[in-house]
A and B are shown apart, each in its own frame.
Chain A
């Protein structure tokens, strides 16, 4: 289409035309000299394209999403923000269910290969080895940054950090003083209210916040009820006290939520299946404390403890879980060329599953998951400031598989301050969870005679294992152009899969006589490898226009282990990771304090989920008329009235709607 091509060409040449004329002039820089200190503090500046120093020296594929990136993108939740990280696959299943999020493939609603932390507190649940994104909400204005490490983080973070780690870091309370009110609404994110107040007293800084949202259903075809609405409210606080050698933090949250749902459930008597539209109720809270002390000899000690409680009741099951965690870390220089880090941790998580329907059972109903871990790591500076080698391992004992070890070795090469390259080999392990081991679900298939499938856990599962070979580089090609790229080869073994149907001998009650039952048991049935890479340039085209494209590629080569014959899970895994995904973000600062931000994204098809490849975009216009007030209008998923992202059970697939919302933020 000619006009699209012309538009693209014009778009490409424009920065070149403008660049020469728009450099900040030397005359303007000289004028800065005559400003007072106070006036200097009021000058708005452009920052360099380069990543923060911490990222530059990290021998891993780390990507940092800053709070400012999140604000400009107009996203309304953390999972939506993660779409802007190359290598992270994010699929919205419907308006109220858990998101399917994966790093470097293998995304699923019950994704087990990504570890998620909020301020160092693990939010993964041992129920299914994944994260309930819907209950772990963070007020977006409180987020300082989200660090995403693509690749195994087993040594420091522990088991289940197989494909990656997502660490959500909130702002220090020193940076959130004063009042903030944010209010927004639209057609899908119907109502979002955030309130915050922070202050300081004699060196202690604190903040308290409260937020809530009402989110409407997505698009349903075929007269299906609009069941996927959600409502959530949360309150929280944070207290900090920093002195030059000590940092202390105490923070906590409490939440309540109600989510609409649709679940296909079965009954024994009469043998039948039906869809329940009973909503899910959730509530819970957490408390976390951390203390860091820096010593004169450049060593530091870090202690963290947290408690969290989560309660959930839905149509298919209910769960009450408490988690207690304690971690200790000590880092010290052993010589001019070596730094040692070691630590240990304990996590206990007692839980009770309550039965809400007889056909869904966890056996045993009560269980305490425990992890005892220790790790050690050495950083060797082979050539100071240029080449360093880090080796380490974590040793863990868990209540499912006993002892597991996760070693890794990483090399970092920084020949100049404009180029850094790294390579790593790591082993990571995912231990089975309650779903893999303790579940017993009876599913009605058809009648007559009544036929059921019984999905049953396996207490003899081996842990899933990954050995990853990765590498990457970062370079500041030009002060305004920065590129970061990484590649990986992941070798998987013992991936847990659904076994073949086995006819069960004469079924006993609760099945009625004459019922035919097929057993389906989980087993370590799949192995293979994935290969891929990510590239993310960051181009500050002019002082007011920043363009950030991103591209990720993934190739899955998985097969059944010898002797394992079922292919259902294999087909799902193969067809649920996009081969290509790409995005382009463009942020433009306009005169009179306007902002115009766009993000375009392409996601390849997911054949096993019956989802076609799609391209869509979000756009946001912001206006910050005064230091205290800011207004914005954001449109999301603009290219189509609705599009599919992931399959769901019970079908049909729910489609994600085009939406728009307006927001006002007032701060004092």
Chain B
């Protein structure tokens, strides 16, 4: 490291001691005032409390079931299965919220899977961001089956996922990739598409209004 080289490098008058430019009491007063100000702020703030991002994502997952249809007749089901792949806070949020929830007249059943092979019977799969590099593979396996794939992993849509949760200014929203949906017999209702923060890709021809 060199001293500032374009002017004088020899610091003849460098080592003058600085005088104290502030009074001790004034600093203390400002510091105490700032610390004390935080206390009533915290008390005031105590009234509202906000739900966690995973509670809202779980609520979305349950609701998505109402806006997805199959264009081919499917084998009859006894429950609407929502599965999670990988482990994160979605597991507990979903378990709590899914109690007594119904989609149409089907009760909702939650499964927590550690392996992609268990997803055959799922209607919706939430892939955790902890799956990381396996996501591309997981989606390749799921891609042709009629399962709605949802995740909050970054770049999920680019890997071929259908719905990706995004956080915009502390609000949970979702983006949709219609190209991934068109490869299956699933169709997303226009009501869902209208609320999405962004929709990419082309819808399948002859889709539902």
Contact = CB atoms under 8 A, between A and B. Distances in A.
Interface of A: 1, 3-4, 7-8, 10-11, 14-15, 18, 21-26, 28-30, 32-33, 35-38, 40-48, 52-54, 57, 68, 106, 108-112, 174-175, 203, 242-245, 247, 263-265, 273, 294, 298, 316-317, 360, 385, 417, 435-436, 439, 441, 443, 445, 453, 455, 479, 495-498, 520, 522, 542-545, 568-569, 572-573, 586, 588-591, 596, 598, 600, 608, 610-612, 615, 617, 619, 638-644, 647, 649-653, 655
Nearest to A22: B49
Contacts of B159: 294
24 contacts: A1-B28, A7-B35, A28-B51, A37-B191, A43-B50, A44-B171, A45-B50, A46-B50, A46-B52, A244-B160, A316-B6, A317-B6, A360-B6, A417-B87, A417-B88, A435-B5, A542-B42, A572-B3, A588-B42, A591-B47, A619-B37, A638-B30, A639-B31, A651-B13
Given A53-B153, A263-B7, A640-B22, A544 B49 contact: yes
**What DSSP secondary structure best describes chain A's contact surface?**
mixed
Contacts of B136: 298
Shortest 6 CB-CB contacts between residues of A and residues of B: A640-B22, A32-B59, A45-B53, A37-B195, A7-B35, A544-B45
A7 B41 contact: no
B77 interface: no
A610 B15 contact: yes
Interface in B1-28: 1-11, 13-18, 20-22, 26-28
B7 A610 contact: no
A647 B14 contact: yes
A245 B155 CA distance: 10
B9 A7 contact: no
Contacts of A53: 129-130, 132, 153-154
A33 B59 contact: yes
Contacts of A649: 3-4, 7-8, 11
A25 B55 CA distance: 11
A520 B9 contact: yes
A264 B3 contact: no
Nearest to A54: B154
B74 interface: no
A266 to B, nearest CB: 8
Interface in B23-73: 26-28, 30-32, 34-39, 41-53, 55-56, 58-60, 62-63, 67
Contacts of B170: 44-47
Contacts of A385: 132
Nearest to A15: B42
A537 to B, nearest CB: 18
A589 B198 contact: no
Nearest to B25: A1
Interface residues of B, number: 89
B179 interface: yes
B171 A43 contact: yes
B172 A498 contact: no
B141 interface: no
Contacts of A545: 42, 45
Contact of B59 (A26, A35, A600): A35
A441 B97 contact: no
Contacts of B15: 610
A350 B181 CA distance: 51
B1 A650 contact: no
Given A640-B22, A649-B4, A44 B50 contact: yes
A590 B46 CA distance: 8
B158 interface: yes
A45 B171 contact: yes
A431 B34 CA distance: 46
A23 B39 CA distance: 19
Given A4-B31, A294-B158, A110 B21 contact: no
A443 B157 CA distance: 62
A655 B171 contact: no
Contacts of B53: 45-48
Given A30-B97, A639-B31, A175 B168 contact: yes
A246 to B, nearest CB: 9
A33 B179 CA distance: 29
Given A33-B97, A46-B53, A112-B1, A498 B9 contact: yes
Nearest to B173: A41
Contacts of A45: 50-53, 55-56, 167, 170-172
B97 A596 contact: no
A644 B21 contact: yes
B86 to A, nearest CB: 9
B59 A644 contact: no
A247 B154 CA distance: 14
B162 to A, nearest CB: 11
Given A108-B1, A569-B1, A7 B42 contact: no
A263 B169 CA distance: 45
Given A18-B46, A45-B171, A7 B36 contact: yes
B34 A640 contact: no
B54 to A, nearest CB: 8
A203 to B, nearest CB: 7
Contacts of A57: 132
Given A47-B170, A568-B3, 5 more contacts: A32-B55, A443-B9, A496-B2, A569-B2, A650-B8
B177 interface: yes
B49 A7 contact: no
A44 B2 CA distance: 51
Contact of B49 (A28, A48, A106): A28
Nearest to B4: A649
Given A37-B67, A245-B158, A435-B5, A644 B18 contact: yes
Contacts of A360: 6
A647 B17 CA distance: 12
Contacts of A652: 16
B45 A590 contact: yes
B138 to A, nearest CB: 12
A245 B160 CA distance: 9
A23 B48 CA distance: 10
Nearest to A45: B53
A393 to B, nearest CB: 23
A304 B41 CA distance: 48
A127 to B, nearest CB: 10
B144 interface: no
Nearest to A243: B200
A439 B137 CA distance: 57
A637 B26 CA distance: 13
Given A8-B35, A45-B170, A453-B10, A441 B21 contact: no
Contacts of B60: 37, 40
A445 B49 contact: no
Contacts of B38: 11, 586, 588, 596, 598
Interface string B101-139: 100000000000000000000000000011011001100
B184 interface: no
Nearest to B54: A48
Contacts of A445: 10
